[in-house]
């Protein structure tokens, strides 16, 4: 399971060979056919992800937002945490199974990937950032080999190399055509991918080992990350300046 930087959460799991419920926004779509389930899941992912990307670039495209990007990230985390808690009230109460030290690590990685991703939008346009995020397969593969001990076939490596070549060509073209391109943005988004490579595999390992639910992992990861962010923004003064800025522009 990758990092939770998308509004929609689609759950599908298997427990001892038995299929569990498939839910979209707390709506059970298990009774529908496989084709209908796939179509609904795909539609929700594309609609929500496109809307999320549009508003994210709209917020972070202004240079004045760069100094308070951590405050915007804090708002995102708080909303995600609250939505996760509301889902637990509707479906099943959250019962922690994963140790807090693991969640402390996941929270730090979640904070890293979201903060770097948001900051990258001050240097890159959203399509470029999205291409990089879509290519997180590469660092995730490396992370899974190191953390989970996975092994991949020859075609998997060929696909990874082709993806690298495509990413390089797209980046070079965008650097010549986009007015909002900066090499610093490439470095920042690469840091986000590094966090993604670790977080996805750590989450998968924790969920397998402790049989934790998606909602539990999301809630505790974002809740602890909120604590980190409140401490960081309070000490740095970003909390007050970010609140003042957002109050003025009605974000």
Question: So what's the pLDDT on residue 174?
Answer: 56
User: Which of 30-39, 56-65, 197-206, 239-248 bottoms out in mean pLDDT, i.e. has the lowest?
Assistant: 56-65
pLDDT at 34 over 90: no
Dmax of the chain from CA atoms?
Answer: 55
Question: So what's the pLDDT on residue 177?
Answer: 58
Half-sphere exposure of 91 (CA within 13 A, CB side): 21
Percent of all residues in the chain with a pLDDT value above 90, rounded to a whole number: 19
Question: So what's the pLDDT on residue 250?
Answer: 58
pLDDT at 91 over 70: yes
Question: So what's the pLDDT on residue 153?
Answer: 83
**Residue 149, helix vs strand vs coil:** coil
pLDDT at 8 over 60: no
18, 212 Cβ separation under 8 angstroms: no
221, 94 Cβ separation under 8 angstroms: no
């Amino acid at each position: 399971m990758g990092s939770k930087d998308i509004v929609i959460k689609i759950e599908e799991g298997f427990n001892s060979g038995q299929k569990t419920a498939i839910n979209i926004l707390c709506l059970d779509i298990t009774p529908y056919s496989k084709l209908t389930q796939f179509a609904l899941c795909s539609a929700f992912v594309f609609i929500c992800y496109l809307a999320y990307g549009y508003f994210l670039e709209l917020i972070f495209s202004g240079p004045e937002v760069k100094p308070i990007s951590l405050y915007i990230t804090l708002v995102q985390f708080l909303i995600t945490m609250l939505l996760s808690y509301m889902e637990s009230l509707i479906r099943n109460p959250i019962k922690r199974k994963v140790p807090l030290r693991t969640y402390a690590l996941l929270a730090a990685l979640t904070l890293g990937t979201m903060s770097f991703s948001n900051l990258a939008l001050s240097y890159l346009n959203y399509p470029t950032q999205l291409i990089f995020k879509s290519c997180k397969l590469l660092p995730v593969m490396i992370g899974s080999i190191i953390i989970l001990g996975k092994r991949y076939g020859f075609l998997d490596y060929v696909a990874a190399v082709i993806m690298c070549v495509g990413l390089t060509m797209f980046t070079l073209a965008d650097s010549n055509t986009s007015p909002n391109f900066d090499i610093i943005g490439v470095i920042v988004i690469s840091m986000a991918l590094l966090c993604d490579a670790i977080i996805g595999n750590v989450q998968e390992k924790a969920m397998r080992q402790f049989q934790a639910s998606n909602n539990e992992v999301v809630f505790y990861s974002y809740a602890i990350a909120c604590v980190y962010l409140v401490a960081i923004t309070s000490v740095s003064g970003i909390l007050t300046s970010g609140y003042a800025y957002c109050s003025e522009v009605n974000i």
